[in-house]
Amino acid sequence: MIIRELNNYEDKPLSLLLSADPSQNSINDCVERGTCFVAEEQKKIIGVFVLLSTRLGTGNSSIGQLALYQKYHFRIIGIDTNFFTKYYTSNIFENGIQCMDMIRLSQDL
């Protein structure tokens, strides 16, 4: 598997982004402000993340993403309690867990 920055001329993997965040407006905002990276295996995109210069966040139920970010030396710096229940109209479930809190991470560069 390789992780690389997505080029500006390439289409964003919207279906993968929507699987992480069902809000199209939120995705558009993040992609516009951040840098999009993709994980590829045999030239097929299997993952995507967007880094913002401010901070990184993922849901409390995103077990795989939390493991990946920590593998790449991101540290948990805070939790926005009830973020997803306040700002999203539909309940989100991953891994049998309701996504309620935003886990904030950062990395010293």
Could you report the average pLDDT of every consecutive run of 10 residues in the chain (109 residues)?
A: 92 91 87 92 93 84 94 94 93 95 89
Model-level pTM?
0.57
The secondary structure of residue 25, as a DSSP letter, is H
pLDDT at position 51 is: 86
pLDDT at position 37 is: 95
pLDDT at position 30 is: 87
pLDDT at position 35 is: 92
Task: Give the Cα separation of 99 and 93 in Å (integer).
Answer: 6
pLDDT at position 54 is: 67
> If DSSP codes are grouped into helix, strand and coil, which group holds residue 73?
coil
